[in-house]
Amino acid sequence: TPVLDFILVSGFIFASRNPADKPPADVAAIMKDSSKYTSMQLTDTAINFGTKKMGYVVNITFLCTNTGNKSLYLYDVHPSCGCTLVDYSKAPIEPGSQGKIDAQFDTKKSHPGEVHKTVFVRSNSNSGSRYLTFTGTILPSDSSATAKQ
C-alpha cells in the first residue's frame, strides 16, 4: 500500500543517515538564532543527467552561492536512497562565495527506466530546508540503444 511504502522509505532514509552528519554544536546554536541566518542561491535545484546504461556512475554537482552577509553552513545533507552518495561543502561558505553539493548515483543499485532522485539539504539559509532533484533514464546494460555518456 502507498502508506506502507512511505513508512518503509522514511524509515530507510532515517536509518541510513550518518550520526556524524549532526551539526557541530556551534552550527546547532546558529540554527536556533534566526539573526544568524543568511540567504543562499542555488544554480540548479533540478538536473536531468540524460540517458545512461546500467552500470554507469553518474556524478551531479549542485552549486550554491551565499548571497547574504553571514556565513552559510550546509549540514544534514543526505540522499533519498542507498543508490546515491553525497558530499558537500562542510566549511563555512562566506558571503559572496560558492559551495557545492556533489551526488554520485550508482545505476547498478537502481533499475532500468526513468529515475527521480532527491538530495535533502539543511542550512542556515532563510529558505530553510531544500530538496534537490536529479532525473534521467537508465537503459538495461544489454540494451542496443545508445546512451549519452
- Check residue 149 and give its pLDDT: 52
For residue 34, name the pLDDT band (cuts at 50, 70, 90).
Answer: confident
CB atoms within 10 A of CB 102: 15
Q: What count of Cα atoms within 13 Å lies in the side-chain half-sphere of residue 4?
A: 1
Contact 64, 88 (CB under 8 A): no
pLDDT band of residue 1 (cuts 50, 70, 90) is low
Q: pTM (2 decimals)?
A: 0.78
Residue 25 pLDDT: 64
92 burial class (0-12, 13-18, 19+ CB within 10 angstroms)?
Answer: middle
51-67 burial string, b = 16+ CB within 10 Å, else e? Answer: bbbbebebebebebbbe
What's at 50, amino acid-wise? G
The CA–CA distances, whole Å, from 29 to 18, 26, 34, 43, 103 equal 20, 5, 10, 28, 28
The b-or-e profile of 21-43 (16+ CB within 10 A means b, else e) is: eebeeebeebbeeeeebbebebe
- pLDDT of 19 over the 80 cut: no
Pairing of strands 46-53, 130-139: parallel
Task: Show the cell assigned to 93.
Answer: 561558505
Q: What would the mean pLDDT of 88-103 be, rounded to a whole number?
A: 96
Q: What is the identity of the amino acid at 89?
A: S
Q: What is the pLDDT of the chain when averaged over all its residues? A: 84
pLDDT mean over 31-58: 93
Q: Which of 118, 70, 77 is nearest to 92 (CA)?
A: 70
